[in-house]
């Protein structure tokens, strides 16, 4: 059965688990060849073996903070599948703490992975897509936190705000090459990262549910659906930030209760 992404090739960074894995699985289900990426070849290989699809799956170890590593990833992708059509910058981290206490190393690490890593990936993909001359889709995974200020999340929120404006800038600059650059900025999605945040910060999940108009956490599959929609490219959108956040940003005040 034909999928909407047949004969396309997609790279998803940080795709050995969580949202990244769900995105890779969804793109593969739609017919794309998919590159699974992790900083560990073992984790990438294990994730690749779990992908259920009839298209090609290739695990590649690469560090998004290392530009040459990402360039090698792109070269291996093209060598294996012949083209690079979709690139999803998903890899990201969060280090929390009061702004007055967080170490400069931790600040730099978050920016290196979340913002510089996104630029490096987009630049590698953009150069390849320009060379191919067939356009393409670059999708950056941001966060609704990029639109907000929050206690204890200065590095993360700042990095995601940068990702949003990076998305807009690249969209404008590469439109002449028919490269669409968009972002997906989720709200609270049920992942291990959210569980870690709950342990570190001590927030109650019910508080999040009460603050979210749709009254629940989102799922990784719902985020993947948004990415797949953007990856198809048939939407006349570039430079947009989609917010699968259950209405969080639209809701102006307090708790539903």
pLDDT in tens, 151-164: 899 999 999 999 99
Contact 9, 82 (CB under 8 A): yes
Q: For the chain, give the longest Cα–Cα distance.
A: 56
CATH number for 9-242 (one of 3.40.50.720, 3.30.200.20, 3.40.50.300, 3.90.550.10): it is 3.40.50.720
pLDDT of res. 257: 57
Per-residue pLDDT at 102 exceeds 80: yes
The domain ranges of the chain are 9-242
Please report which confidence band the pLDDT of residue 205 belongs to, taking 50, 70 and 90 as the band edges. confident
pLDDT of res. 52: 86
The residue annotated as part of the active site, out of 67, 120, 156, 188, is 156
Kind of pairing, strands 179-184 and 241-242? parallel
Per-residue pLDDT at 219 exceeds 50: yes
Please report which confidence band the pLDDT of residue 1 belongs to, taking 50, 70 and 90 as the band edges. very low
Per-residue pLDDT at 255 exceeds 90: no
What is the Cα–Cα distance from 116 to 119, expressed in whole angstroms? Answer: 5
Q: Looking at residues 138-148, what average pLDDT do you find?
A: 97
Assess whether 67 carries a catalytic annotation: no
**pLDDT above 70 coverage of the chain, percent:** 93
Q: Is 255 exposed, middle or buried (0-12, 13-18, 19+ CB in 10 A)?
A: exposed
Kind of pairing, strands 57-61 and 136-141? unpaired
Per-residue pLDDT at 202 exceeds 70: no
Per-residue pLDDT at 239 exceeds 60: yes
pLDDT of res. 256: 59
Q: Looking at residues 155-184, what average pLDDT do you find?
A: 98
Per-residue pLDDT at 53 exceeds 90: no
Mean pLDDT score across all residues of the chain = 94
pLDDT of res. 213: 95
What is the Cα–Cα distance from 181 to 170, expressed in whole angstroms? Answer: 7
What is the Cα–Cα distance from 89 to 109, expressed in whole angstroms? Answer: 17
Per-residue pLDDT at 212 exceeds 70: yes
pLDDT of res. 237: 98
Please report which confidence band the pLDDT of residue 54 belongs to, taking 50, 70 and 90 as the band edges. confident
């Amino acid at each position: 059965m034909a999928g909407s992404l047949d004969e396309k090739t997609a790279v998803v960074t940080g795709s050995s688990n969580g949202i990244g894995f769900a995105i890779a699985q969804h793109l593969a289900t739609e017919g794309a060849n998919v590159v699974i990426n992790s900083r560990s070849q073992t984790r990438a290989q294990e994730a690749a073996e779990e992908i259920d699809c009839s298209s090609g799956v290739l695990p590649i170890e690469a560090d998004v903070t290392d530009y040459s590593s990402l360039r090698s990833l792109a070269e291996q992708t093209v060598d294996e599948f012949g083209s690079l059509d979709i690139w999803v910058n998903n890899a990201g981290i969060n280090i929390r703490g009061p702004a007055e206490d967080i170490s400069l190393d931790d600040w730099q690490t978050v920016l290196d992975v979340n913002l510089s890593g996104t630029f490096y990936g987009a630049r590698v993909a953009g150069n390849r897509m320009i060379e191919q001359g067939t356009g393409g889709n670059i999708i950056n995974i941001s966060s609704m936190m990029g639109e907000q200020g929050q206690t204890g999340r200065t590095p993360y929120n700042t990095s995601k705000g940068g990702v949003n404006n990076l998305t807009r800038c690249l969209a404008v600059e590469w439109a002449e090459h028919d490269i669409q650059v968009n972002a997906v900025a989720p709200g609270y999605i049920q992942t291990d990262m959210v569980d870690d945040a709950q342990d570190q910060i001590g927030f109650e999940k019910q508080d999040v549910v009460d603050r979210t108009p749709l009254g629940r956490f989102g799922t990784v599959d719902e985020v993947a659906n948004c990415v797949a929609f953007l990856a198809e490219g048939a939407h006349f959108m570039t430079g947009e930030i989609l917010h699968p956040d259950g209405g969080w940003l639209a809701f102006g005040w307090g708790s539903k209760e």
